[in-house]
Amino acid sequence: MSPYVSLAPGLLELRGSSDGAGGVHPMGASAGALVVLGGGCPRVGGCNETRMLEKLPLCGKAFADMMHKVDVWKWCNLSEFIVYYETFTNCTEVETNVVGCYWPNPLAQGFISGVHRQFFANCTVDRTHWEDPPDEVLIPLIAVPVLLTVAMAGLVVWRSKRPDQLL
């Protein structure tokens, strides 16, 4: 019998400890699940993509259920749901590895992108549109350093031809 009991996809709880109290596995959900499952490496038999695509929606549903506990206007504030997102990420990794696939892979990334579109489509950051300054400003900003460089180079050449005189 496994010492862990599944609370939700990607989240394990220790059945009991020496003091009789349970606790969340100290290695985290992903590591704990991989220990129970016998390792985190994909199996030799290959990736069962069909099975992976059946299992990943379970992670998405658990994440959606958790996200609905957060006010919609807080969905763009990562600190409000980072624990839920970590659980979702761990779940997708575990479920992908269980069916013998590597994580991340294009199918899992596509699924995760779909979840992002569902919850975070309105979280785009307004980016500043940079433009060149008007020519009246740009030309002096370019010309002055160029002319100063030429003048200083000329001064060095001129001065190097007259080493015996002081300035």
The single residue listed with the structure tokens 């206007």 is 73
User: Which CATH code is given to the segment(s) 4-120?
Assistant: 1.10.150.510
Distance CA 119, CA 74 (A): 11
Query: How would residue 33 be classed by pLDDT, with cut points 50, 70 and 90?
Result: very low
Q: In the chain, where are the structural domains located?
A: 4-120
Distance CA 151, CA 136 (A): 23
pLDDT above 90 coverage of the chain, percent: 47
Residue pLDDT, tens place only, 117-139: 999 888 877 677 788 889 999 99
99-125 in b/e form (b: 16+ CB < 10 A) is bbbebeeeebeebbeebeeebeeeeee
- Residue 165 reports pLDDT greater than 90: no
pLDDT tens, residue by residue, 36-92: 444 455 555 688 999 999 999 999 999 999 999 988 888 888 888 999 999 999 999
Asked if the model's pLDDT at residue 154 lies above 80, the reply is yes
Contact 29, 13 (CB under 8 A): no
Res. 147: pLDDT tops 70: yes
